[in-house]
Amino acid sequence: MRLCLSIVFLVILFPQCSPRIWAEQKDSFARLRERMVQEQIVGRGVKDGDVLRAMRKVPRHLFVPQKQRAFAYGDYPLSIGEGQTISQPFIVAFMTEAMSLSPNDKVLEIGTGSGYQAAVLGELVKEVYTIEIIEKLGLEARERLEKLGYTNIHCKIGDGFQGWSEKAPFDAIIVTCAPETIPKALVGQLKQGGHMIIPVGRAGAVQKLVKATKKDGAIVSKEVMRVRFVPMVKDLD
């Protein structure tokens, strides 16, 4: 059903193209997606079959600006406007796998961006709650996800440092922007035994990608990779 909706979405975006061109574009993007998964993701050690299926399915090119679509499946982040980026495919897959998700999980994402990471999560878990502080990006992502048929993804414009207390606790939390320390509110909203994957460090510097697990009310964390993410922005109003 979501695939059909994706095709409809393409037609809305490019009404001047013929059905034959749609089919050719669809096949071309599918081949690029498969190559992305094999070379960038499987080739670097991501093994979770459900994660790989989600990465093969979600049309990444629909989550980047039109002028960037030819580069959507490349091994690098891309600008999505407003000073923000969509992470490279490997990072999306790696962080998703690191949360050890189950189908009935409820996941909180901080930093919706274009909605791509949320869509990948939406293929894997029961409910996704995603927060974006930049209103323009958040509204665009909500519209995009609705058009693609993701009824299990819930978007909010707000301060990620505060999380989404009304929907807590969460089985897992993923943060796609970097605070200098792990926000206390997010720790409080994570279930016992739940996992958080989050980049931590100063803006402009190399940061630590941390996997944190909640045990007896406290966080036990370990560094899993060095990364560079855009800084996590706090609402000062």
Please give the positions annotated as active site. Answer: 87
CA gap 213, 58 in Å, rounded: 28
Whole-number Å distance between alpha carbons of 69 and 50: 25
Asked if residues 207 and 178 have their Cβ atoms less than 8 Å apart, the reply is yes
Q: Could you tell me the two tokens for 236?
A: 């000062």
| Tokens matching residue 40 | 């960038």
* CB neighbour list of residue 144: distance below 8 Å, 6 or more residues apart: 62, 63, 114, 115
Backbone phi, then psi, for 73, in 5-degree steps?
Answer: -105, 15
